[in-house]
Amino acid sequence: MNFFIKALAGSGLLKKNLDYSMMRASMVVIFLFFGYQKWFNYEAQTLIPFISNGPLLSWMYPVFGIKGATYFLGVAEWLFGALLFAGFWNKKLGILGALGSVVSFIGTLTIIPFMPDGWAPSAGGFPAMQGNVAFLAKDLVLLAASFYLLKQDVARASLLAEKSDRFWPDKHPDPSKAYPRLIDVRWKHFRVGMEGKAMVQSEVAKGRGLGLSELAPRVVQSEIRAMTMESDRVGGVNLAQGVCDTEVPAVVAEAAIAAIHDGHNIYTRLDGIARLRRAIAEKTERMQGLVVDPDREVVVASGATGAFHAVAMALFDPGDEVLLFEPFYGYHVGTLRSLRAVPVAVELEMGTWALDLERVRAAITPKTRAMVVNTPSNPAGKVFTREELEGLAEIARERDLFILTDEIYEHFLYGDAKHISPAALDGMRERTIVMSGYSKTFSVTGWRIGYVIADAKWIGAIGYFHDLLYVCAPTPFQHGVATGIEKLGRTFYAGLAMDHETKREMLVAALRDAGMTPYVPDGSYYILASTAGLEHVLGDGTAAQRSRTLLAKTGVAAVAGSAFFRAGKGEDLLRFCFAKKDEDLADACQRLRELR
C-alpha cells in the first residue's frame, strides 16, 4: 500500500497538489538532515539526538527482538504512508511522513545485518514490511530519485541560505521554535507546484530528445517589436515602439563619450558606479522627499526592464501570484510568466482608467505576493492618484504584499497630474520596490540605464540576480547619465513635460481628425485610441489586423491594443507613441488625417 502511495506521489499522477509529492518531501528531509546539518546542528541534536549517536533504532532490539523490530517498522511504514498521502493536502503532514520514511529506511539498514539467513516476513504478514531486500531496494530507488531532484535545486537553496538572514538565523534561543520555521522555509523554497515543470520532466522521461523548453512555444516576439520591423520594411513612420528618438541632452552624450576616452570601459560593481548611485539617491530625495542610502538601497540596472526581471527573480517563487492593472505593460506579464510566477490582471475602468479597490481585494488569494503599479502607465498614460495609491498601500499592509512600482515615465506629466511614488507613503518604505531609469528621460533607450531602490534587506538578492543576468549596466553610459542627473535640474524636467504635452496635443488632434477616439493620457507618451466606427476603412478584424491595415494605408505604425489586455479584449484599440522628433510626428499626423 505504502509503495503504491509513494509511486503515485513520485510519478506526479496525483496532480491536485503536485508540490506535495513524496519525492520532493523526501528531498527536503534529506537536505535538512544531511546536506546542511552543519548549519543547525544544535537544533537537530536537540530534537532528534539519535541522528549522530549510532544506529537509529538499535534501542529496539533488546525490547522487541529482531522480528518484533521488523514488525514495528512495518506498522510505522503504514503510518508514514498515511502521512505522505495526507501531504497532498497538508504539507507539514507530508514532510513528517517523508521524515518517517527516511527514518524507517535507516532502521532497515540497522536490522538487516542481524536477520537470520533466509528469513523474511511472509507475503501474508504485515503489508509493506521492510525486513527483506526487495523493500530495501524500493527505498533505495526512492531515495536516489530524491537525490536527483536535490541536485537540480541545491544551487538555488544554497544561494538563498547565503544571501538572506531572514531564512538563516545564526542562532535561535529556542530550538523547538527554530525547527518548524526551518522546515517551513526549506519547504517553501524547494516545492515546485507547477504542472508545466512536471510536463517537461515527463517529456524528458519519455526521451523526447532535443527541443525547446515548455515555456518557449508560447513565447513569441512582442507585437511592439513586430510592428517596428514591419514599419522599417515599408519605410513607415514608427509610432508603435517607444524608441524615444528625440535629441539626447548634449551634456549627457558628451559625458559618455568622455568616459570612453577616459578608460571607463570595464565592469563596474554589480550595483553600479558610486557616483551614479549617489546622484540617483540625491535626486530621489530632492524630487520625492524620499531619503535613500546610495550604498545599501540602490542598484543600477540594465534599464527598468532589467530591473524588473532581477526584482522578480529575487522575490517570487513559481506559483506566486502578482496583480497587474489592465491595460498592462506586456513585458511585465512576459517576465513573470518566464519565471513561472502567475500574473493576475485587475481591470481598470475603460477610458477613465479609474481604479476600483474592491476589484483589487477580490483578486487577492492566499498565493498573492505583490502588486505591480506602473505610474505613469504604459500604454494608457494613467497617473495613479494619491487616494488610489493610499488605498493600494492599505491593502498591501493588510495582506502583507509587496508593491513593485515602475516609474520610468515619472517626468512625463501633463496638466495637473502629479507623480507620487508609493515608497513615499507612510509605512510603505519596506514593502515598496521602486524601478525607474533614464532611458526615456534622456532619450537614450539603447543605453539601458535603469535602477532599483529598495530596502537594504531585499537589495542584496536583487543585485545578485541582476549581476547573474546582465553583469552590469554599460559603464561609460553610467557616467553619462550620472553627469546628466547632476547638471540637469527641475527646469530640464519641466521643459521635457511641456515639450511632450505639445506633442500629445498634435497627435490627439490628428487621431480625432482620422475618425478615432483617443483616450487622452495624463502621463507617459502613449495614446490608446478606439477605432470603433472605422470598420469600413480598417476592417472589422482583430486589433493586430487593423494596425497592419493602418500601416498599409497610411505608412504609420501603431501597436494592437490587444497586446495590453487579456485575450479577447482591446481589439478595437491601437496604441500610438508621440515621443518623436517634431518633423517626424508632423509627418505621421498628416498621414493619419488622410485615412478618411
Q: Is 301 within 8 Å of 450 (Cβ atoms)?
A: yes
Question: What range does the domain containing 164 cover?
Answer: 2-205
Residues 289, 417, single domain; the answer is yes
Model confidence at 192, pLDDT cuts 50, 70, 90, reads very low
Could you tell me if residue 16 is inside a domain?
Answer: yes
d(CA 42, CA 366): 33
Mean pLDDT estimate for the chain: 78
Look at residue 316 and tell me whether its pLDDT is greater than 70: yes
Output the pLDDT for position 63: 53
Look at residue 41 and tell me whether its pLDDT is greater than 50: no
Look at residue 151 and tell me whether its pLDDT is greater than 70: no
**Domain limit, last residue, from 487, 506, 536:** 487
Residues 432, 504, single domain; the answer is no
Residues 182, 230, single domain; the answer is no
d(CA 177, CA 465): 31
| Residue 456 grid coordinates | 537594504
Residues 355, 445, single domain; the answer is yes
Residues 408, 300, single domain; the answer is yes
Could you tell me if residue 35 is inside a domain?
Answer: yes
pTM: 0.66
Residues 39, 82, single domain; the answer is yes
Model confidence at 364, pLDDT cuts 50, 70, 90, reads very high
Query: Which is more confidently placed, 461 or 46?
Result: 461
Q: Is the dihedral of CA 179, 181, 184, 185 positive or negative?
A: negative
Output the pLDDT for position 346: 98
Output the pLDDT for position 157: 41
d(CA 482, CA 273): 9
Output the pLDDT for position 59: 45
Could you tell me if residue 218 is inside a domain?
Answer: no
Query: Per-residue pLDDT tens for 335-351?
Result: 999 999 999 999 999 99
Could you tell me if residue 216 is inside a domain?
Answer: no
Output the pLDDT for position 236: 87
Residues 9, 155, single domain; the answer is yes
**Domain limit, last residue, from 470, 487, 504:** 487
413: exposed, middle or buried (Cβ count in 10 Å: 0-12, 13-18, 19+) = buried
d(CA 44, CA 63): 25
**Domain limit, last residue, from 460, 487, 514:** 487
Residue found under cell 529506511: 105
Residues 373, 439, single domain; the answer is yes
- For the ranges 136-145, 314-323, 439-448, 488-497, the lowest mean pLDDT is seen at 136-145
**Helix-strand-coil percent breakdown of the chain, rounded to 5?**
55, 10, 35
Output the pLDDT for position 223: 79
**What is the C-alpha radius of gyration for the chain, rounded to an integer number of angstroms?**
30
| Residue 184 grid coordinates | 517551513
Model confidence at 23, pLDDT cuts 50, 70, 90, reads very low
Look at residue 118 and tell me whether its pLDDT is greater than 80: no
Look at residue 461 and tell me whether its pLDDT is greater than 60: yes
- For the ranges 4-13, 274-283, 546-555, the lowest mean pLDDT is seen at 4-13
Output the pLDDT for position 81: 67
For position 421, which CATH number holds? Answer: 3.40.640.10
Model confidence at 215, pLDDT cuts 50, 70, 90, reads confident
Residues 466, 541, single domain; the answer is no
Please tell me whether the peptide bond between 327 and the residue prior to it is cis, using omega within 30 degrees of 0: yes
Over residues 365-394, the mean pLDDT reads 98
d(CA 170, CA 172): 7
Could you tell me if residue 210 is inside a domain?
Answer: no
Output the pLDDT for position 246: 87
Look at residue 141 and tell me whether its pLDDT is greater than 70: no
Query: Per-residue pLDDT tens for 554-568?
Result: 999 999 999 999 999
Output the pLDDT for position 108: 61
Query: Which is more confidently placed, 313 or 210?
Result: 313
How many CB atoms sit inside 10 A of residue 199's CB? 12
- For the ranges 145-159, 247-261, 351-365, 537-551, the lowest mean pLDDT is seen at 145-159
Share of the chain above pLDDT 70, in %: 66
Look at residue 5 and tell me whether its pLDDT is greater than 60: no
Over residues 319-347, the mean pLDDT reads 96
- For the ranges 111-125, 398-412, 432-446, the lowest mean pLDDT is seen at 111-125
Query: Per-residue pLDDT tens for 387-422?
Result: 999 999 999 999 999 999 999 999 999 999 999 999
Residues 280, 238, single domain; the answer is no
Could you tell me if residue 83 is inside a domain?
Answer: yes
d(CA 446, CA 517): 32
Could you tell me if residue 362 is inside a domain?
Answer: yes
Output the pLDDT for position 110: 62
Residues 476, 504, single domain; the answer is no
Look at residue 216 and tell me whether its pLDDT is greater than 50: yes
| Residue 172 grid coordinates | 535561535
Look at residue 122 and tell me whether its pLDDT is greater than 80: no
Query: Which is more confidently placed, 204 or 577?
Result: 577
| Residue 554 grid coordinates | 497610411
Query: Per-residue pLDDT tens for 242-285?
Result: 778 889 999 999 999 999 999 999 999 999 999 999 999 999 99
Domains of the chain: total: 3
Identify which of 378, 368, 287 has the alpha carbon closest to the alpha carbon of residue 326.
Answer: 378
Share of the chain above pLDDT 90, in %: 59
Residues 437, 502, single domain; the answer is no
Could you tell me if residue 191 is inside a domain?
Answer: yes
Output the pLDDT for position 233: 84
